C-alpha cells in the first residue's frame, strides 16, 4: 500500500502541495473554504505527514534521545514517567538508548544520536564521561543531565537537574553528631557512583568540621544476594555501625535482614536509612527510613528545561538558569529513632 503523500492530498483537493503544507502547519494565510477542502481531502485519504521528510526539510526531528544505564530501569521508572509525560505534551518523540558495562558502549550511543539528528538529549548520570559530553557539545546538541550535580566543566550549554545529595548527607550526619552518634557507615552503590561521591563528600565535610575522619566507606558486590552473603559472614565477627547509609532498596534490605538474623535489634543496635525510596521499603519489618526524592519531577523538569533549550528560550540563556536543584525531605520510619 503506497502511503498517502502531500501530493495526493493536493490533487484530491485540487490545490498545490504548498497549500496543503500550509494547512497542516496552521498557516493563517489560507482562505477558509480552501482550507476546508484540503482538510476534507486529508480526512478522506487518511493522510499523515511523513515526519522523516519534515525532519529533512526543517532540520528538526522533534525527537529527543534519552540515555540511561540498562541496569537502572527499575529504579528510574518514575523519572522516566516524568520525562515521557512532558515529552508527550510537547509532542516530542523519544529515542531510547541504553548503555551497558562493556567498553566504550557509550561511543556507539553517541554515534547513533548524532546520525539520528535528534534535537536534544537527556542523560542520566553515571553513564558517561566529560569527553563524551564534549562530543555532543561539538555537534551543538542541547542536553540536560538528570540525577546528581555535575562537576564544574568547560561545557556550558548543558542543563542539570539534580538533588543535592551532598547537603543531604551533610545535614543528616550533623544531626547524628548532635545525638552523639559518630560510628557511621556509607555503603557504596556501584550503579550510582556520582551520587555516591556526593554523599561521601557530604559526610566527609561533616566529619572534618567535627575534627574527625570518615573511614567507613564500605564497598562490596552490591546485588542483594552478594550483599546478603557478605554481610551474613561479616556479622559473625563484627558489630554493625551505629548508623548506616545505603542507597538502593536491595542494599538496605540485605543489611536489615542480616542484622536481624545476626541477633541485632533494629533500630536499637543499628539505625539505617535508604536514600532512594520505593514501595519495597514499606514491605519490611520494620519499614526502612528513607528520603522523599522528587523523582517524577526530576524527569518532568528535565524535559521541560530541554524543550526550552530547544527553542532558545530567553529565560534559560545564562548558565545558572539551567542548573535546577530540587528539594527533598527525610521520611523517618522504623529503622531510625
CB of 140 to DNA, least distance (A): 13
State yes or no: residue 139 binds a second copy (CB under 8 A): yes
Q: Compare residues 55 and 286 and give the one whose CB is closer to DNA.
A: 55
Residue 88 touching a second copy (CB under 8 A): yes
Is there binding between residue 225 and a second copy (CB under 8 A)?
yes
Nearer to a second copy, 55 or 182 (CB): 55
DSSP string, 176-195: HHHTT---EEEE--TT-HHH
Reference 162, options 193, 136, 195; nearest CA is 195
Whether residue 57 contacts residue 276, with contact meaning beta carbons closer than 8 Å, is answered with no
Q: Pick one of 22, 35, 97, 322: the residue that binds a second copy (CB under 8 A).
A: 97
**Three cell numbers at 286?**
520494620
Residues 239-278 that bind a second copy (CB under 8 A): 250, 253-254, 257
Ranges within 1-40 binding DNA (CB under 7 A): 3, 5-7, 14-19, 21-22, 24-25, 29-31, 33-35
Binders of a second copy in range 33-62 (CB under 8 A)? 48-53, 55-56, 61
CB of 36 to a second copy, least distance (A): 22
Does the protein bind a second copy through residue 116 (CB under 8 A)? yes
d(CA 199, CA 272): 15
**Beta strand ranges found along the chain (DSSP E):** 63-69, 93-99, 120-124, 143-147, 158-163, 184-187, 217-218, 243-246, 271-274, 289-292, 323-326, 329-331
Cell numbers at residue 136, please? 555532543
User: What's the grid cell of residue 227?
Assistant: 550483599
Rule CB under 8 A: which of 165-204 touch a second copy? none
Q: Which is nearer to a second copy, 73 or 208 (CB)?
A: 73
CA-based end-to-end distance of the chain: 68
What residues line the site for DNA (CB under 7 A)? Answer: 3, 5-7, 14-19, 21-22, 24-25, 29-31, 33-35, 47-50, 53-54, 56-59
Amino acid at each position: 500500500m503506497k502511503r498517502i503523500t502531500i501530493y495526493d492530498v493536493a490533487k484530491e483537493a485540487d490545490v498545490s502541495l504548498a497549500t496543503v503544507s500550509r494547512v497542516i502547519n496552521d498557516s493563517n494565510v489560507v482562505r477558509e473554504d480552501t482550507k476546508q477542502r484540503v482538510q476534507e481531502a486529508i480526512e478522506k485519504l487518511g493522510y499523515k505527514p511523513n515526519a522523516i521528510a519534515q525532519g529533512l526539510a526543517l532540520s528538526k526531528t522533534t525527537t529527543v534521545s534519552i540515555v540511561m544505564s540498562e541496569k537502572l530501569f527499575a529504579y528510574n521508572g518514575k523519572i522516566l514517567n516524568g520525562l515521557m509525560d512532558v515529552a508527550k505534551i510537547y509532542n516530542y518523540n523519544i529515542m531510547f538508548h541504553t548503555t551497558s558495562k562493556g567498553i566504550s558502549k557509550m561511543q556507539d550511543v553517541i554515534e547513533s544520536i548524532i546520525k539520528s539528528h535528534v534535537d536534544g538529549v537527556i542523560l542520566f548520570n553515571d553513564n558517561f564521561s566529560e569527553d563524551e559530553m564534549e562530543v555532543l557539545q561539538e555537534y551543538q546538541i542541547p542536553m540536560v543531565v538528570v540525577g546528581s550535580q555535575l562537576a564544574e566543566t568547560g561545557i556550558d550549554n548543558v542543563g542539570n537537574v539534580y538533588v543535592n545529595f551532598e547537603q543531604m548527607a551533610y545535614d543528616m550526619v550533623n544531626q547524628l553528631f548532635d545525638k552523639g552518634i559518630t560510628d557511621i557507615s556509607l555503603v557504596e552503590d556501584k550503579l550510582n557512583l556520582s551520587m555516591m561521591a556526593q554523599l561521601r563528600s557530604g559526610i566527609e565535610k561533616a566529619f572534618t568540621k567535627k575534627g574527625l575522619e570518615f573511614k567507613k566507606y564500605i564497598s562490596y558486590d552490591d546485588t542483594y544476594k552478594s550483599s546478603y552473603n557478605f554481610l551474613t559472614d561479616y556479622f559473625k565477627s563484627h558489630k554493625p555501625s551505629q548508623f548506616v547509609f545505603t542507597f538502593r532498596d536491595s542494599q538496605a534490605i540485605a543489611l536489615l535482614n542480616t542484622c536481624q538474623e545476626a541477633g541485632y535489634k533494629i533500630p536499637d543496635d543499628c539505625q539505617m536509612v535508604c536514600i532512594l525510596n520505593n514501595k519495597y521499603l514499606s514491605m519490611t519489618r520494620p519499614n526502612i527510613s528513607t528520603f522523599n526524592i522528587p523523582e517524577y519531577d526530576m524527569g518532568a523538569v528535565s524535559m521541560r528545561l530541554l524543550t526550552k533549550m530547544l527553542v532558545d528560550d530567553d529565560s534559560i540563556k545564562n548558565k545558572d538558569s539551567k542548573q535546577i536543584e530540587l528539594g527533598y525531605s527525610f521520611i523517618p520510619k522504623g529503622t531510625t529513632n
